[in-house]
């Protein structure tokens, strides 16, 4: 009887030892959960700012605009761009040749084609039967030359420190600085300014003189010095008393840019 009691007690103790864990131990099934740290998410990087610089504010309408590189120097001699065309217009004939200064690199055919299209335009010098024009490769009454900046300054003068084109006798010198950059009054329309260059300087070869803005808000006469400005007052300030072959009044009149003799 006692043996049985002892054996029963031993069996009960073993049972208790297999089901009761000592205090402080943790069951693998009850492993503590890790509380995520409350770190502030890093802010998204600010968008990179590559805003273009502000547009240049020109001190004078006669400033040479910003733009591409252009031929600054050449040899001072010229060669003809080959090509000829039909007579355009019905008035007295004036022939012209197209030339480019030696030592400069440009698309010569593109230049010649532009001159041709400008002089053949019905808004040009052939309007209303005033004259006809024809491109030739040989002797011509007018020779239109694309000219490096330095040669243009030498021929046209730089007493007024502004890059300009000019006419000297039967030769028309178109400044490459202006051909590539234009003029402030025309920005950003380079094509119209080039048409103005051709028509204005060829107009001198056809016997036309300078003119002022005659009606405020109207298209500028093509013989107005629009490379300087389309404002009479500003032209007077820029030229500073240097004769321009015409009296430019200080009357406050400002015209709109216009490249055509008969717009």
Is residue 31 scored above 90 in pLDDT?
no
Q: What is the tens place of the pLDDT at every residue in 164-182? A: 999 999 999 999 999 999 9
Task: Please report the pLDDT score of residue 41 as a whole number.
Answer: 47
Domains detected in the chain: 78-209 (3.40.390)
Is residue 21 scored above 50 in pLDDT?
no
Distance CA 261, CA 163 (A): 23
Residues paired with 78 in a beta bridge: 101
Q: Quote the pTM value.
A: 0.80
Distance CA 181, CA 69 (A): 9
Distance CA 261, CA 246 (A): 18
């Amino acid at each position: 009887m006692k043996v049985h009691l002892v054996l029963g007690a031993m069996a009960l103790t073993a049972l208790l030892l297999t089901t009761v864990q000592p205090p402080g131990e943790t069951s693998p099934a009850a492993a503590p959960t890790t509380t995520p740290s409350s770190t502030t998410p890093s802010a998204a990087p600010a968008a990179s700012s590559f805003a273009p610089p502000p547009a240049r504010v020109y001190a004078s309408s006669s400033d040479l605009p910003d733009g591409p590189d252009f031929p600054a120097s050449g040899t001072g001699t010229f060669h003809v761009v080959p090509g000829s065309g039909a007579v355009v217009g019905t008035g007295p004939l004036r022939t012209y040749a197209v030339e480019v200064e030696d030592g400069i690199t440009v698309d010569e055919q593109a230049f010649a084609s532009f001159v041709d299209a400008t002089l053949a335009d019905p808004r040009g010098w052939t309007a209303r039967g005033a004259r006809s024009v024809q491109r030739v490769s040989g002797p011509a009454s007018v020779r239109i030359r694309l000219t490096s900046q330095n040669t243009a300054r030498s021929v046209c003068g730089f007493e007024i420190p502004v890059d300009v084109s000019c006419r000297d006798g039967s030769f028309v010198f178109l400044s490459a600085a202006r051909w590539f950059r234009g003029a402030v009054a025309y920005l950003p329309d380079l094509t119209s300014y080039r048409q103005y260059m051709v028509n204005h300087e060829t107009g001198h070869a056809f016997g036309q003189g300078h003119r002022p803005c005659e009606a405020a808000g109207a298209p500028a006469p093509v013989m107005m010095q629009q490379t300087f400005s389309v404002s009479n007052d500003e032209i007077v300030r820029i030229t500073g008393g240097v004769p321009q072959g015409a009296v430019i009044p200080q009357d406050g009149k400002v015209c709109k840019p216009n490249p055509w003799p008969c717009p």
